[in-house]
Amino acid sequence: MSLSGKIAVVTGGSRGIGRAISQRLAALGALVIVNYVSNSSAADETVQSIRNAGGKGEAVQFNVAVSEEIEAAFKKILEAHGQVDILVNNAGITRDTLLMKMKDEQWDEVLNTNLKGVFLCTKAVSRAMMKQRWGRIINITSVVGFAGNAGQANYAAAKAGIVGFTKSVARELASRGITVNGVAPGYIVTDMTRDLSDEVTNKIMAEIPMGVLGEAEDIAGAVSYLASDDARYVTGQFIHVNGGMYM
């Protein structure tokens, strides 16, 4: 697979799964724009790792939950590069708690970042992709969006919302040569899962037929396929990368 000459934007690209996706797309030849909201040092590390490997990358700051910041950022990206070929909507946060204890702001923060952010960024690139009649939009959802999880009603709702959004937009944009797909990670080794206790981790692994947590690179592999010409006839679909946890 080659993404040479393509411009890719990865939201939440500075750490974890986003970093692995950014590095993989760059390794395939794309110029990768690594989005971050606050941790500039992590974004710079990701960009430097891309450049050290011979790839092309740059960091851009904007909050995916704020439409004005997104519009300004994508305007600059289009002015600088003339196109956006690949958008990976990866940015996400958690505010876990049981429903009875969940505050309005905990619901709103997660839905605004994890779902509204996907809507805003997709809308921002769709016009340019339609003009060039080529585009790849890849939305990162979650096994939780399909199976649910106690203590994550807000997160699961947002990730499930991405599923319906992806299918709807795939239908709208298909005639313009734009595919819209999703990747649904299971439990992946990231900063988020490293904070889990051994007891919780062991309980999770007992539910995974393969018996291990996934790696960020496993998600990057699925994303790179969907971003490539190999997936030109795939749209409105989801690749589940979870070791068999959800079938």
Q: What is the CA radius of gyration of the chain?
A: 17
Give CA–CA dist 115/154, Å, rounded.
10
For residue 136, the cross-strand partners are 86, 179
Residue 32: Cβ within 10 Å count: 31
Copy the structure tokens of residue 180.
Answer: 């819209």
What single letter denotes the amino acid at residue 162? Answer: I
Copy the structure tokens of residue 118.
Answer: 């996907």
Question: Which one is catalytic: 155, 225, 233, 246?
Answer: 155
What single letter denotes the amino acid at residue 121? Answer: C
155 is catalytic: yes
In 90-212, DSSP assigns E strands to: 135-140, 178-185
3-state secondary structure of 192: helix
3-state secondary structure of 88: strand
Q: Show which residues are catalytic.
A: 155
